[in-house]
Amino acid sequence: MPSNDHGLIKRLVFKLVKKHIAGSTTASVIRTVKQLNDKDISATITFLNENANTPARIKYNVNSYSEIIRQLTRLNLRTDISLRLSQLGYLYDKEQAINALDSIVSTSEKYGKRLWIESEASILQSNIFDLESRYKGNKNIGVEVPMDYVFKYTNGSIPKPMLSYNNIKLLASPMATSESNGKKQSKPKQKKHNQDRNSNYYKCISKLGDSKIDTTIFSHDEKTLLSLFDECDGYKKDLRLEVPLGYNRKRFGMLLKSNPRMSVYVAYGKDWVPYAINKLTEGRIKDIAKAVLDGESKVAQNG
């Protein structure tokens, strides 16, 4: 694809995702969090600066997260922090990345902010679980886990390290529609797929609830959230639902009526391509986004 066409497509895609991004500066994300808190809605913020591969960039990311934690605390804003291990150089030097994470964890503990370690396709979930022994008992640390990972890669059982964390965020895939992976799906099969999937999800949620683990469910599909929430009747009071910034107001209102424990995932920064791919897209759209945008992201990293 010619570079001019590639750049045009990127600009067009940005117009579609910009409502999900608070801006590029610390001031912009603080302003957004204030607006949410004023409506009694909590937030989880993340800094869009990816794949640190030099000590200088790792240090910059560590300082950025530490500073935003201090500012949010000083302003008494109700928000969690979310980061990716790739931002700390994990793909290049694991030991250096863990030392960097220790620094941010220390700051989050000092100021009482919950810190989420996000799931990434480039880093095995088992590697994230390996941190359990390092931060065991730390009430300020949480990990993201794709729900489908639990049942696809662990034969339906809950990974033991997952039960050692005090905070778990489950990433729920949208409910199946009449078209799945490019193939038409009959309504009975579609309904059966959703029922089976929700049954598996419920097993996971109930196990976490029985283990007294603070559980959040993240999805950009309100049908999935509402369906899961309705099925998890015995655990509703312990669940928190989270959606990305820019969510449809009407649908968000529906979720608020079902569960007042709502949170909004607020991203800020200039490096939005990986975020658009990993958080805002699913299925075929995700594959297309990767094909169109991932190449440009790699060019930017190597530039």
Contact 283, 126 (CB under 8 A): no
pLDDT band at 221 (very low <50, low <70, confident <90, very high): confident
Q: Is 111 or 270 the better-scoring residue by pLDDT?
A: 111
Strand, coil or helix: 2 = coil
pLDDT of 162-197, one tens digit each? 888 999 999 987 776 544 444 555 677 777 777 777
Lowest mean pLDDT among 36-45, 69-78, 210-219, 233-242: 233-242
Contacts (Cβ under 8 Å, ≥6 apart) of 75? 30, 34
pLDDT number for residue 299 = 39
User: Domain segments of the chain: what residues?
Assistant: 22-271
DSSP H stretches of helix in the chain: 3-17, 26-38, 55-74, 94-111, 125-129, 132-135, 147-152, 187-210, 222-231, 249-258, 273-279, 283-289, 295-302
pLDDT of 41-64, one tens digit each? 999 999 988 778 899 999 999 999
pLDDT number for residue 15 = 65
For 228, how many CA atoms within 13 A lie in the half-sphere containing its CB? 31
Which conformational region is residue 40 in: left (phi greater than 0), alpha (psi within -120 to 50 degrees), or beta? left
Residue type, 27: A
Q: Is 151 or 88 the better-scoring residue by pLDDT?
A: 88
**pTM for this predicted structure:** 0.84
| DSSP code string of 29-68 | HHHHHHHHHHTT-EEEEEE------SHHHHHHHHHHHHHH
pLDDT band at 34 (very low <50, low <70, confident <90, very high): very high
Residue 260 has pLDDT above 70, yes or no: no
**Rounded to whole angstroms, how far apart are CA atoms 261 and 257?**
10
Q: What tokens were used for 259?
A: 């569960």
Residue 100 has pLDDT above 90, yes or no: yes
Residue 69 has pLDDT above 80, yes or no: yes
Average per-residue pLDDT in the chain?
81
What is the percent of the chain with per-residue pLDDT over 70, rounded to a whole number?
78
**Rounded to whole angstroms, how far apart are CA atoms 81 and 190?**
36
Q: What tokens were used for 179?
A: 């078209």
How many angstroms separate the Cα of 261 from the Cα of each of 79, 123, 170, 201, 270?
13, 30, 15, 19, 29
The enclosing H or E element of 245 equals none
pLDDT of 117-171, one tens digit each? 999 888 889 889 889 888 887 889 999 999 888 887 777 788 888 888 999 999 9
Tell which CATH classification among 3.40.190.10, 1.10.10.10, 3.40.50.2300, 3.20.20.220 matches the domain 22-271.
3.20.20.220
pLDDT band at 10 (very low <50, low <70, confident <90, very high): low
Average pLDDT in the 67-91 region?
Answer: 95
